[in-house]
A and B are shown apart, each in its own frame.
Chain A
Amino acid sequence: EDQVTQSPEALRLQEGESSSLNCSYTVSGLRGLFWYRQDPGKGPEFLFTLYSAGEEKEKERLKATLTKKESFLHITAPKPEDSATYLCAVSGTASKLTFGTGTRLQVTL
């Protein structure tokens, strides 16, 4: 059974204070690892797909990396508008996405 564990559950940063979110996974036959952003009361919004260990993707202040056992979402010099819940998910041989419970990020001035 595919499993995804995200840490920390919640993270509070000051504006400009860089940090990383962790996503550890176990999956049979990784087809893709996905990061989503979810704002309160809304559906998740797709950010990145990573397919193989060593791959990196960037978008504005966000950078996602992947190893054989975990993925990191690095947030560089965050702003208050980056406050959201960040979800990690994996797709294995079953072709379905299994989600973690998310990291709730709050960025304060």
Chain B
Amino acid sequence: DVKVTQSSRYLVKRTGEKVFLECVQDMDHENMFWYRQDPGLGLRLIYFSYDVKMKEKGDIPEGYSVSREKKERFSLILESASTNQTSMYLCASSTTGAPSGYTFGSGTRLTVV
């Protein structure tokens, strides 16, 4: 069964910490995405990548960075975590070409205290 795997289901971090969220896909997908999901705001795109070493800013990139050193792995980095970054973080992947559904991971519930 094809999968997008996020390394942690739940994380609690302190304000000011550097936080790494890891995502791995086993479908050889070119495209990978990081979203955050908040009640009433829906899914908002943070960063995405169409290829290894490539990254593009989404709608809310401030306070975040990403890394894609290998095709199957896309990492989201919170440089200095703040309480307003408490959220559900979702990673997704997709193929290039005709529009296709994204495959999502199970999500990481991050709490910054």
**Please, how many residues of chain A have a CB less than 8 angstroms from a CB on the other chain?**
22
Task: Give the CA-CA distance A35 to B109 in the complex, in Å.
Answer: 23
Residues of A within 8 A of B (CB): 31-32, 34, 36, 41-46, 49, 51, 87, 89, 91, 95-97, 99-102
Interchain Cβ contacts under 8 Å between A and B, 30 examples: A31-B99, A34-B99, A34-B102, A36-B101, A41-B107, A42-B107, A43-B90, A43-B105, A43-B106, A44-B43, A44-B90, A44-B102, A45-B104, A46-B101, A46-B102, A46-B103, A49-B99, A49-B101, A51-B99, A87-B43, A89-B43, A91-B99, A95-B99, A96-B33, A96-B45, A96-B58, A97-B102, A99-B42, A100-B42, A101-B40
Neighbour of A42 across the interface among B43, B45, B92, B106, CB < 8 A? B106
Which residues in A have their C-beta under 8 angstroms from that of B99? 31-32, 34, 49, 51, 91, 95
Q: Map CB proximity to A onto B78-103 as digits: 1 under 8 Å, 0 otherwise.
A: 00000000000010100000011111
Task: Give the CA-CA distance A20 to B42 in the complex, in Å.
Answer: 20
Residues of B within 8 A of A (CB): 4, 33, 35, 40-43, 45, 48, 58, 90, 92, 99-107, 109
Which residues in A have their C-beta under 8 angstroms from that of B33? 96-97
Which residues in A have their C-beta under 8 angstroms from that of B42? 87, 99-102
> A108 CB to closest chain B CB, in angstroms?
22
Which of A34, A44, A87 has the largest number of chain B CB atoms within 10 A?
Answer: A44
Neighbour of B41 across the interface among A34, A42, A101, CB < 8 A? A101
